[in-house]
Structure 1
Amino acid sequence: MVLKVDVPPALVSGAADEGYGPVADAFRRNFAERGEIGAACAVYRDGRKVVDLWGGYRDGRAREPWREDTLVTVFSSTKGVSGLAIAVAHARGWIDHDAPVAQYWPEFAAHGKAAVTVRSLLAHQAGLAAIDRPLTVTDLADLDVVAAALADQRPAWEPGTRHGYHAISLGWYEGELLRRVDPQRRSLGRFFADEIAGPLGIEFYIGVPDTVDPARIARLHGYRPGELLLHMGTMPRGFVLGFLNPRSVTARAFANPKVLGRIDNYNRPDVRRLELPAANGTGEVRAIARAYGDAATGGAVLGLTPATLEALTRPAAPPSGGLDDVVLRVPTQFSLGYIKPFPALRFGAAGDRAFGTPGAGGSFGFADPETGVGFAYAMNRAGFHLWDDPRELALREALFHTVLGERAQRPD
């Protein structure tokens, strides 16, 4: 059952610069009207932090307050943070988006994957959403074991003809690709710590080290998978039925091993410790906004080149079979490890140059180069939307429509 907690107004903290008050107002209303338990929201504009809010309980059952330095796991919002590592590799000339993945990782060519390009893989078009070889949590801690399973996977459809959300596997494929092109052969988590978190001065981990005090990490309040049946008015019916069918590609994309298919299991220390670059990034929410804020304003700290930024902002190229997502069972649009704006998910300004990723339960982070904005929101009570969770949408609407005068963020 969904946990319900009354949060006193005094537990909502932080600040918003002059003119950004509507974002703070929406954040406060999330606790008063939308069942928020604990959350944070941050916005960078033109390289400057203009919104930094946090509040509620980092543990709703124990009534432990969410602090300024509370860390939270953001599920698939991790994909966008991890995507910055691939963007840095591209900017350094290590990766060509249109080169075959097998050029960098020869074993990847097995079972008809020789022609799969980096671009197709990062656009969820490679047919590799589900990994057939059974994996355990112990297996996932050994990147060589994971790489062997990835290379041995047969595509579920002809690459490039369709797309389907690579919910967990995308991060593993990105991580192994990065290990192959990095002269130091660093894992994606290690590369991120060295080349992104360090230069930006942010606290965000892809694989939480044992040195981090677990008391700082927000407890996730999830739901049992069967509860999705009660929310088919918000979750797409096809997705819910697929997620609950263990033989479907939808279920298999989220649950190998099965422990990864339940939100509450991401509270486990052994799961937090893993490097899951598509799923278990954990850190301060302002760290995500800071990283996207740099990308939105030219990527000077990250060392992104104009060519890399142009590639990230370019409209996504759909697969030949159209936009219907084989895994999520609704139309979607992806490019270079990111989701791009499309009719059912309008984020950022009207030019659709924004790029980012939403996460299970309601989190979202993205860069919008048109307005110079880096935006991030995350929470610990999971909601039942693939995107546009009412709590997150209220914040994004307040920022882009009310404050910045850009288009409404709600779909038509």
Structure 2
Amino acid sequence: LFSVICIRGLLNYTKEVYHYWPEFGTEDKKNITVEMILSHQAGLLGLDAKFSIIDYRDKWDMVENLLAKQSPKWPPGTAYGYHVYTYGMYADALVRKVDPQHRNLSQFFQEEIALPLDIELYIGLPEEKYHRFARCQSASLWEFRFNLFDFIALFGSPYFDFMNIFNLENHDFNNPEILSIGHPAVMGVGPARNIAILFDYLANNGSIKAKRLLSPALVKALQEPLTTNLPNVYLLSNQASRGLFLQKNKQGHSIIGHSGNGGSIVYADVTVGVGIVYSTNYLSVSDQ
């Protein structure tokens, strides 16, 4: 999505965020660039204040103010760690600032990417589509116990409470009102095949059958690691690029993609030119 915004000259990856959002340039954040946000280097992986996911929809001015005032947990650009919820929130705020129509990220994605490409995907599922949604099932107690030591390590992290902004539980994703909220980090919904088609564009230099999503140069920019030699402080093992993660598969092919809650994953294999997705409604507690 940010690559599409870059194509239109609305945003530059290397520009400081405060250039587009002046209120952001406080609390030692003035040197944070757009690509630092997108590659989890900003140190803004949580918020000091808590609020509900409903507040995210209904009290955006409050949310934006909290985002702008938050101070980083490490000097930006010196480390990286997974910004689980805040990644999508800062991205949403930036889209609202640079889009001439001031649409939120969910609206921009729907109107400028999903509809033009004729791909049914949503960031926030419309409630009238809820009857088609495969209900989420939580992991069993046995699986939780089997992975207990992983949870102890997770809960022991100094960042865990800081990141736990919404107190969302897995069963909340079966609530049609909550599922309809366009939070970019957690509410992506769509048929697995359509998610794979979107990543097929990335695997094929940005175009499929005469439809172009991105230029080859911008697809290449998504494959550039930005976190090489930086310490990983929270939950990341793969190198981060501008919004995606990079790794090699078992065949040695370069792949770019992202994992999701419960074990879902999508990636583009740029060597063979194919987008691949595994989507599950069983929300596993492990990465297996």
Q: Is the 8 A contact 2:228 2:239 kept in 1?
A: no
Equivalent residue number for residue 218 of structure 1: 134
**Which residue of the partner structure matches residue 64 of structure 1?**
none
Highest RCO, 1 vs 2 (Cα 8 Å, sep ≥ 6): 1
CA distance, structure 1, for counterparts of residue 35 and residue 100 of structure 2: 21
Q: Is the counterpart of residue 163 in structure 1 residue 80 in structure 2?
A: yes
Identify which of 337, 352, 356 aligns with 2:243: 337
Corresponding residue for 1:241?
Answer: 152
Gaps of 5+ in 1: 1-84, 390-412
Give SS of 1:374's match: strand
SS of 1:191 mapped into structure 2: helix
Distance 2:204 2:108 in 1: 22
Change (3 A) 1:295 1:103: same
Give the structure-2-normalised TM-score: 0.91
Contact 1:127–1:164 (CA under 8 A) maintained in structure 2 = yes
- Return the offset for 1:184: 1.2
Contact 2:206 2:215 in 1 (8 A): yes
The answer to whether the 8 Å contact 2:258/2:266 transfers is yes
Counterpart code for 1:109: G
State the partner residue of 2:270. 369
CA contact (8 A) 2:139 2:285 kept: no
Please report how far the alpha carbon of residue 227 of structure 1 lies from its aligned counterpart in structure 2 after TM superposition. 6.0
Q: For each residue in 1:138-166, what CA deviation from the matched residue of structure 2 results, as whole angstroms up to 9, or x when unmatched?
A: 31113322211111111011111111101
Residues in 1 aligned to 2:115 and 2:230: alpha-carbon distance in whole angstroms: 41
Local SS of the residue matching 1:95: coil
* Mapped contact 1:349–1:371 kept (Cα < 8 A): no
Q: How does 1:246-285 map to 2 (within 5 A)?
A: 248-253=158-163, 255-258=164-167, 260=168, 262-285=169-192
CA offsets per residue over residues 298-346 of structure 1, 9 Å max, x none?
Answer: 22335312321110122x1226642x3x221x633211111111xxxx4
Per the TM alignment, residue 252 of structure 1 is displaced from its structure 2 partner at its CA by: 3.3
The superposition leaves residues 23-60 of structure 1 with CA deviations (integer Å, 9 ceiling, x where unpaired) of xxxxxxxxxxxxxxxxxxxxxxxxxxxxxxxxxxxxxx
Partner of 1:132: 48
The percentage of aligned residue pairs carrying the same residue is 33
In structure 2, what is the equivalent of residue 203 of structure 1? 120
Q: Could you say which residue in structure 2 is the equivalent of 1:19?
A: none
Does the 8 Å CA contact 1:231/1:384 hold for their aligned counterparts? yes
Q: How far apart, CA to CA, are the structure 1 residues paired with 2:15 and 2:135?
A: 41
Question: Any residues of structure 2 matched to 1:11-410 within 5 Å, and which?
Answer: 85-141=1-57, 142-212=59-129, 214-223=130-139, 228-232=144-148, 237=149, 240-245=151-156, 248-253=158-163, 255-258=164-167, 260=168, 262-300=169-207, 301-314=211-224, 316-318=225-227, 321-322=230-231, 324=232, 326-328=233-235, 331-341=237-247, 346-347=248-249, 350-352=252-254, 354-386=255-287, 389=288
Alignment partners' CA distance in 2, 1:151 and 1:169: 12
Q: Which has the larger radius of gyration?
A: 1
Q: Is the 8 A contact 1:207 1:273 kept in 2?
A: yes
What is the RMSD of the two structures over their aligned residues, measured on CA atoms? 2.2
Q: Write out per-residue CA displacement over residues 262-320 of structure 1, whole angstroms, 9 at most, x where no aligned residue.
A: 22221112220111111121111111111111222122335312321110122x12266
In structure 2, stretches of 5+ residues that fail to align are none
TM-score by length of 1: 0.65
Cα distance change, pair 270–243 in 1 and its aligned pair in 2 (3 A): farther
Instruction: Report the AA paired with residue 317 of structure 1.
Output: L
Structure 1 residues 379 and 303: CA distance shift in structure 2, 3 A:
closer
SS in structure 1 at match of 2:283:
coil
User: CA shift at 1:349, angstroms?
Assistant: 5.7
Paired with 1:158 and 1:229, the residues of 2 have a C-alpha distance of 36
CA contact (8 A) 2:222 2:243 kept: no
